[in-house]
């Protein structure tokens, strides 16, 4: 039996009681302000542009932006974080996991999934407007490098069939 839990659920009861705008998290703008301009939120509880990250990297980026905002330094605004998370769970049979971008499709998105029971591998990618927008890989992570490059580059995908995204080279050859 494998139990895998990914993601966080922000504790927003206090923010809701205080009258702040709350959806999945405490809603913030590009300067990490809540619906009350004197209150800011960052990290696991903050929802920026419809997304709660739940990761240390985005929280650190948010902290840097907020430090600039509070100090009056004209720095960049927070525009979101493009994060790729890679985990290895040890044990007698290690389990590798990689997740990036938007792994939940919207209407009209193409979804490509590949499950290989003999290798204990699962791969899923989401393609929107001929661009890779996210994915999840479990088990064999050989294609993660090529997929990450395609996702980070945000360029149109080659004309190859979408299934090639899930090969070991990520469809780059």
93 and 152 in a single domain? The answer is yes
- The reply to whether 4 falls in a domain is no
CATH number at residue 30: 3.50.50.60
What pTM does this model have? 0.62
Report the domain count for the chain. Answer: 2
- The one-character DSSP state at 97 is E
pLDDT of 173 reads 45
Q: What is the pLDDT along the chain (173 residues), one digit of tens a residue?
A: 555 555 668 899 999 999 999 999 999 999 999 999 999 999 989 999 988 887 788 899 999 999 999 998 877 799 988 878 888 877 777 788 888 888 889 999 999 998 988 888 899 999 999 899 999 999 888 888 888 888 888 777 877 666 776 765 555 54
* Domain termination residue (choose one: 45, 71, 97): 71
> Following DSSP, what letter does each residue of 25-39 receive, concatenated?
SEEE-TT-B-SSTT-
89 and 159 in a single domain? The answer is yes
> What range defines the domain where residue 64 resides?
13-71
Nearest to 124 by CA among 104, 108, 107, 152: 104
């Amino acid at each position: 039996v494998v139990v895998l839990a990914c993601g966080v659920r922000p504790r927003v009861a206090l923010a809701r009681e205080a009258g702040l705008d709350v959806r999945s998290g405490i809603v913030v703008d590009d300067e990490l302000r809540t619906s009350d301009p004197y209150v800011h939120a960052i990290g696991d509880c903050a929802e920026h542009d419809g997304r709660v990250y739940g990761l240390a990297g985005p929280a650190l980026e948010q902290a840097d932006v907020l430090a600039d905002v509070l100090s009056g330094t004209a720095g960049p605004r927070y525009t979101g974080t493009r994060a790729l998370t890679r985990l290895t769970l040890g044990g007698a049979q290690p389990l590798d996991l990689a997740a990036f971008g938007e792994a939940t499709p919207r209407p009209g998105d193409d979804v490509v999934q590949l499950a290989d029971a003999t290798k204990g591998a699962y791969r899923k990618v989401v393609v929107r407007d001929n661009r890779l927008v996210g994915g999840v890989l479990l088990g064999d992570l050989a294609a993660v490098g090529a997929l990450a490059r395609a996702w980070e580059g945000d360029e149109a995908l080659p004309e190859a069939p979408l299934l090639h995204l899930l090969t070991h080279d990520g469809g780059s050859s």
